[in-house]
Amino acid sequence: MQHAEVIKAIDWNHVADQLNSKGYCRLQDMISKQQCEELIDLYDQEGPYRKRVVMERYRFGLGEYKYFAYPLPSSIGAMRKTMYEGLVPIANTWMKALKIEREYPLIYEDFLQECHKSEQQLPAVLILKYGKGGHNTLHQDLYGDIYFPIQIVLFLNEPDEDYSGGEFVLTQQVLRAQSKATVLRPKRGDMLIFTTNFRPIKGSRGYYRAAMKHGVSEVWEGERHTLGVIFHDART
Residues 125, 228 contacting (CB under 8 angstroms):
yes
User: Residue 169 and residue 183: Cα distance in Å, rounded?
Assistant: 5
Q: Mean pLDDT throughout 211-215?
A: 97
pLDDT at site 106: 98
Phi-psi region of 95 (alpha: psi -120 to 50; beta: other; left: phi over 0): alpha
CATH number of 4-229: 2.60.120.620
pTM over 0.75: yes
Answer whether residue 211 shows pLDDT above 90: yes
Burial class (CB in 10 A: 0-12, 13-18, 19+), 59: exposed
H-helix or E-strand spanning residue 88? helix 74-97
Answer whether residue 18 shows pLDDT above 90: yes
pLDDT at site 7: 83
Which candidate, 225, 53, 227, 68, places its Cα nearest to that of 151? 227
Q: Mean pLDDT throughout 128-146?
A: 97
E strand residue ranges, 74-149: 125-130, 135-139
* Mean of per-residue pLDDT scores for the chain: 95
User: Residue 198 and residue 98: Cα distance in Å, rounded?
Assistant: 10
Burial class (CB in 10 A: 0-12, 13-18, 19+), 125: buried
Instruction: Name the residue type at position 190.
Output: D
156-171 confidence digits (pLDDT tens): 999 999 999 999 999 9
Q: Domain ranges in the chain?
A: 4-229
Query: How confident is residue 13, by pLDDT bands cut at 50, 70 and 90?
Result: very high
For residue 89, give the 3-state DSSP assignment.
Answer: helix
Answer whether residue 177 shows pLDDT above 80: no
Answer whether residue 3 shows pLDDT above 70: no
Residues 142, 211 contacting (CB under 8 angstroms):
no
Using a pLDDT cut of 90, give the percent of the chain over it. 91
105-130 confidence digits (pLDDT tens): 999 999 999 999 999 999 999 999 99
* CB burial readout 60-70, b (16+ within 10 A) else e: bbbbbbbbbee
